[in-house]
Amino acid sequence: MDKRPIGVFDSGLGGLSVIKELNRVLPDENIIYFGDTGRVPYGTRSAETIVKYARQDEKFLLSHDVKLIIAACGTVSSVAGFTANELPVPFIEVVTPAAKAAVKATKTNRIGVLGTAATVNSNSYKNAMLNFNPELTVVQNACPLFVQLVENGWIDRDDEVTVATAKRYLKPLCEAGVDTVILGCTHFPAIKEIIGDVMGDSVTLINSGEQAALAAAEYLTTNYLLGEGGRRRYFVSDRVQSFASTASILLGSDIEDDVEMINIDSFGG
């Protein structure tokens, strides 16, 4: 029994898709979440800046004596995953678990990847999947506006702006006839229904946040690190109320009393 919390970080609200799944598969674990709402999005930043932000986020979580860190951010996982080598605790990223799930799910060997510009440009998901199956055809598209739409709460299934944006972003994947799509940014599951409506019922959507949560559950179980307590604490770098309002919708419960703002710059970089 290890009562230390799991640490989870993301550029903003997106990592809550990981929290939602952790609530399902590891309800008794204590969790510390950091959403870098003051510097979102990460996906449009330089590699150097992304690495700096990742290290600061990790240092903050380590200050809470976490037993495991989950980079609930496709951009960090793709561009700064090597920072795991600097950590004194285990590290789980979102790319590898989602890539494995997509390769297993596809029946036509045609897979789409949606992510931020930094994630798509890194080819992280593509390379990971081709390592599992070199015969795949992988179609990628950067969807930077999705992050801002989710951060601003434009997530209703019939939201005209978000639906129109999805149709434009998903057109190349539809034309390519993919049968599986990786939601390669943890913000994207918040609009999974919209993406599913555009792609059609025959296309399987892989939630990278869900796969990371399942990987975390497997690791903790295998290594006898499961804990107890079930407390969730949320930290942000800007605007507690804005985060809490949208987060409560995404998680299905009021978390405002559990959210605090911190100065992330005080954690070096």
Bridge partners (DSSP) of residue 92 are: 70
CA-only gyration radius of the chain, Å: 17
Let me know: does 17 contact 207? Beta carbons within 8 Å: yes
Beta-sheet strand order (sheet of 259-261) = 91-93, 68-71, 6-10, 31-35, 232-236, 259-261
Beta strand 137-142 pairing with 110-115: parallel
* CB hemisphere CA count around 82 (13 angstroms): 7
Q: How far apart are CA 146 and CA 159, in angstroms?
A: 12
Catalytic residues: 73, 185
